[in-house]
Structure 1
């Protein structure tokens, strides 16, 4: 006989399933957030260390890398400065690339707004113009960039010097270089700075005349030659001597190339 016929109720059976969930702290999301935090802190402390371990000039160089204030060449010309030496581009190459000729006059800070190719073309144009007078002059010239602007280095060599030994009397080589450069500088609207340099050989007369005086006098001699060529003296911002404190050949302070005159076409 069926139980329901006796009035007995069928029992209701409830099955409870236990679902196991991992607690939040057992998940992996916090690890990603923690790794990001640790990475950010490492970058922060690295930045603090760099700021403490670098000079003002080095920090400016780092800032210029991320937000350049001077154009930097993508292609090395073999030198060691901002543009890695003189340009490998020629006016013909620039014309083929569509950047055109570069004979406009530079005004104020216009140099900073030029494309890299156009800037290199103008540098090469200046050097080409000076080499037309004498191809041998190339060993006595170097063109590069500095934070102040374009630097034209007029340098001594083993065989020929810019000045007579121990004084500021110019040799024919310097006169030829500056006579050619004076015409090229007319294509720039920027002011100039002229700096004289010597090697580290000790030089001092009984009257106290030394490398500091000699380097300054040689820079002033270069200024006078430019004046004789009709260059506008109102565009000369500074004439100074650095003696042997800024050698061009750092590993050999007595090298003849350290005896030079630097002419800076200022862009700032």
Structure 2
């Protein structure tokens, strides 16, 4: 039996149970994770069913700087996070050159949206007019390296001009005057070109020929656009190509080759037309047929020197 001084204290341990709610933060995290997964799967599915052109447009859209989107396409601000230097701190010569090269290769995403919007407005205006609605099949819209091209094609049943003449048909006049105010909404300048088929005039190319006819029809179209309200300052080039630029996979005498082409020019193309590059004027190529000039040392002595 142990002595009283050897007794150890009895320690009773009681576990305290706290009834508290564990919270729902994990639910929010799980919901965010599932939303992100769904967005990822949707993006992957859209890319898998889209063509190359659509994927390229999406890539160009997301590569457009935020400042460009906010200023409706104005590239006055820098597209880089860190300015590249130069006279203007918001620009750099290298950055501007890079933008020019990209724009020269193809229309930017912003320009594509402007052109698509213009095409939709023209198509809506035509659809609202019962007479013009019949001409929709004779119109073609496409993007080229020069800009948005609008082709107005001839047919045997509904020619745009009187045969062999630059007299504009009434429905062609109505179409051009309907398009004029819509073309005014863009700052881009226009190019108008006339084209004919290969049916020659009786006098051949010595008299009035397809060259004169194509140019006269382009000018007649210009006059109708201006009469419809087009700003004359927006016209940069009016030309005639006769039958030298046929549509692909068409016969030389096919009526569709009798057409008018309106091109809403890209800014860099318009600038290149205004200021064509000239090469070789400072250092002209030597004329192989011209006799070589004698050097001063090889000049013959005159009789007076003796």
* TM class, shorter-length: 0.5 to 0.7
Q: Partner of 2:194 in structure 1?
A: 196
Q: Partner of 1:178 in structure 2?
A: 176
Separation in 1, partners of 2:237, 2:111: 28
Larger Rg: 2
Question: Which residue, 122, 132, 139 being the options, matches 2:128?
Answer: 132
8 Å contact 1:191–1:266 — kept in the other structure? yes
Give aligned pairs, total: 169
Deviation string 1:106-161 (CA, Å, 9 cap, x unpaired) is 9898x624286675344333323233223212122111111100001111112110
Separation in 1, partners of 2:163, 2:140: 22
Secondary structure at the counterpart of residue 262 of structure 1: strand
Q: Which runs of 5+ in 1 are unaligned?
A: 1-71, 76-82, 84-104
User: How many Å apart are 1:229 and its aligned residue?
Assistant: 1.5
Separation in 2, partners of 1:106, 1:122: 16
Separation in 2, partners of 1:188, 1:138: 22
The normalised TM-score by structure 1 is 0.56
The normalised TM-score by structure 2 is 0.49
Aligned runs of 1:101-112 on 2, under 5 Å? 112=108
Q: Classify 1:246/1:229 alpha carbon distance in 2 versus 1 (closer, same or farther; 3 Å).
A: same
User: How many Å apart are 1:209 and its aligned residue?
Assistant: 0.3
List 4+ stretches of structure 1 deviating above 4 A.
105-109, 115-119
User: How many Å apart are 1:182 and its aligned residue?
Assistant: 0.6
Bigger shift: 119-128 or 137-146?
Answer: 119-128
Q: Which runs of 5+ in 2 are unaligned?
A: 1-51, 58-71, 76-102, 270-306
Separation in 1, partners of 2:188, 2:194: 20
